[in-house]
Structure 1
Amino acid sequence: MDNAHLTRKQQEFFNYIVEYKKEYDVWPTYREIAEHFDYRSPNSVTQNIQALLKKGFLIKRNDEEYDLPKEKKKNLLEDYDDQDGIPIRGLIAAGYLQEAVEADLGKITLSSLFPNLDQLFALRVSGFSMKDVDIYDGDLVVLMDTDVKNGDIGAVLYNGETSLKKIYWGSNGLRLEAANESYDDIIVEPDVFEEVRIIGKYIGHINRQGFQRATSKVA
């Protein structure tokens, strides 16, 4: 890539979003970029992205999100893309001390970590209504296409809108409870139950610290 096409500040901006993508496999939010560079306005983020689009360092996908051109994606993200599992490097005793045994025992794959991988999908969070269970704006929530029990956190589609909430069923209808006292409960009356679709059950979320599995207390 010819760095001469970018100003110093544009190169720093580009390097940051690419490194973020390599580490977390998602692009940083406008808020995260603004905080990193101490921008006072999200317009500064927009201006930098527009400059990178104009110079061909980024492209717009069909969903209007930005991305890297194919040739740059291969060069810049190939180290990440080649990671297909966690290496198992040997044996370790869980009883008396034993001689260390090093061996190539394969890799831990996503299928190993998540036996029901075919039932999983993720959504990116927008907003702060679940902050009291440590789910914040920009996090990725991992959801499972399975039954949601009373009190579970789940993704709900209602009246054409989606929301992540604690779900409670009762004689008076469906109650969607936020994990933030600044947000009121959403009550769905029994006669419109058929308009509600539970998209998935929350099983964990991904943030800068990695994967945070749901506990029985919040799930």
Structure 2
Amino acid sequence: MNPSLTPRQQQIFDLVRRSIERTGTPPTRAEIAQTLGFKSPNAAEEHLQALARKGVIELVSGTSRGIRLKADTLRAMRRKPAHADQLDLPIPSLAQLTLPLIGRVAAGSPILAQEHVEQQYAVSPSLFSAQPDYLLRVRGLSMRDAGILDGDLLAVKRTSEARNGQIVVARLGDEVTVKRWQRQGDEAWLLPENPDFQPIRVPHEGFSLEGLAVGLVRGALNG
């Protein structure tokens, strides 16, 4: 336990961390309230504000899931001794990762094709819940309420499989999109996190799952 946090704050912090590890996104205030038995989301908001004042999280205004774990918080957790509470996070490499930044993707070509790489960035592995393979520049606001905004750099781990609720990078014909994955029986859907956008039913042809979102970079690399 972080000695600077009260037991309730630690409980909320752990809930946020587990949600990010499991789905790639933090919980909403309503989800925190429901899980911990608060009477209203306002109680969750008060605890989140306290965590932000103590410097262990960052709150992004205007989004229901705008909660971020700070990089130094993740690094401190990973330095915990072996007998401490176990975290399902990878041990970061001592060296920085060098990741390609993917810009616009040409129709029909692999997402990591050389012509798509805008730049290479050296970043700390401690920023991410799993080791990513590349950064993808986000276009548009369809994932706004998950805290993913236009121009953000999404860290992506290549995979062809996903669990319900995870945020994925998918190819639909000639387009690459970031959405939340949901499978129901024989049907699969790509769900936006913005009511201005419609869910996309995954077609049987012309679709491929490119990867999972494992983190987000904003500001420092976007200049």
Normalised by the shorter chain, which TM-score bucket?
A: 0.3 to 0.5
Which structure: larger Rg?
1
Q: Which has the higher contact order (CA 8 A, sep 6+)?
A: 2
Tell me which protein shows more helix as a share of its residues: 1
TM-score (norm 1): 0.42
TM-score (norm 2): 0.41
